[in-house]
Structure 1
């Protein structure tokens, strides 16, 4: 399989403006950066609605052969249209392109949208060894629910701090699944929410704009210490 160019030209379906797009790389569990194969002959499509399965593509690591699902490449045009960048479907699921640098990619993506917040959480969870991260069966009262074997996660991309009720609901959901609950928030936590999380041993993380999860209580510090 030939190595595809890292950058392709993408034409907006709404305004006709052309953009140069470079596929982001993500860290495999082995540490090697991988990126999806782009299709320079394909046409971008406007994103008009979203479904969980359609937002991810399978990429296999050239270094270790592990296959993971990563966010489908997207590009925001200044006209307001969000474009789904064409991916080489023949290469999807095969060995993905490994960027030239051998230095492991940072396990973070800049957060501009709720989708970016989910991606940042997934990257972090994979750094903890949770490879099979999926959308949770039970939707939380606020934010987005994720799950992996032994863990239930809530990602809150809203502008208000998470409440004590949010923390308690996550804890109850995790207990029902015989799993551990972990909370990621963009806006932080109310004081009583942090106090309750400490009592319930729920790790709390704040996602900063760079996409790096910052532990804000003792259970989160302990969990963060296990990250690879």
Structure 2
């Protein structure tokens, strides 16, 4: 079970009992960031991608992976960043060799914000075997682009179904970078977008509000089954 500690909001002085969330390592063991009881929580005033992640070592297999940095919302409206001990920033982590183990069932996280959708996709890509997930250098016209070695993903949190142009734009960008591409949408896809994706072999996934990606075409089924292997 994840450790918990008392956290004081620096804005209103309210005390919270905070328990760190745990995430599934590739070996299947739960991993939770170690909380620093001797440091104070800080307020989140603006967001920088590199500061959203923290590197944590799995106690079971020794692998170091990047996970969302712990945060807590105070009723006063302040977002608190919870201090983590003994973990370098994600941008400076050096992931080690994978522990050979079968992939376990994906453990989703609920989607309430755009950031939650991005985190859910990052966790899913990590489950498939992709490492060093980061913001893509070239962001799409809509949504958020994520990249890792060999893959380019688009997370579309809008309330409109993705269009053929959205899918084709992602495919063209991936072609110029010689990587595969994957599309994740909250609102699904138009029929013509699905047809274009099938023609271009672009995996399409729909994200439900539990954060579970659901494959909706054959390329997505193949990717879900085989990962990066």
Please say whether Structure 1 and Structure 2 have the same fold, judged by a TM-score greater than 0.5. yes
2:39 to 23, 39, 42: 42
Instruction: Tell me how far apart the structure 2 counterparts of residues 80 and 166 of structure 1 sit (CA, whole Å).
Output: 35
What secondary structure, in the 3-state scheme, does the structure 1 residue paired with 2:226 have?
A: coil
Q: What is the count of residue pairs matched by the alignment?
A: 215
Q: Give 1:79 deviation, angstroms.
A: 2.0
- C-alpha deviation, 1:222, in angstroms: 1.6
Root-mean-square deviation over aligned CA pairs: 2.0
What is the 5 A alignment of 1:47-196? 47-88=44-85, 90-92=86-88, 106-196=106-196
Per-residue CA distance 1:70-126 (angstroms, 9 max, x = gap): 1110111222211111111x35479xxxxxxxxx78531111111111111111111
1:101 counterpart residue number: none
- Counterparts of 1:22-41 in structure 2, within 5 Å, are 22-41=19-38
In 2, are the aligned partners of 1:164 and 1:193 still within 8 Å (CA)? Answer: yes
Residues 45, 117 of structure 1: alpha-carbon distance in 2 compared, 3 angstrom cutoff: same
* 1:198 correspondence with 2:198: yes
1:105–1:215 distance in 2 versus 1, CA, 3 Å: closer
C-alpha displacement at 1:25, in angstroms?
0.8
| Structure 2: gaps (5+ residues) | 95-103
Deviation at 1:54, TM superposition (A): 0.8
In 2, distance between residues paired with 1:160 and 1:22?
35
> Partner of 2:222 in structure 1?
222
In the alignment, the residues of structure 2 paired with residue 29 and residue 5 of structure 1 have an alpha-carbon distance, to the nearest angstrom, of 18
- Secondary structure of the 1:122 match is helix
CA distance in 1, matches of 2:192, 2:137: 28
Q: Secondary structure at the match of 1:158?
A: coil
Q: Indicate if the aligned counterparts of 1:26 and 1:105 stay in contact, CA closer than 8 A.
A: no
CA contact (8 A) 1:11 1:44 kept: yes
Structure 1: unaligned runs, 5 residues or longer? 95-103
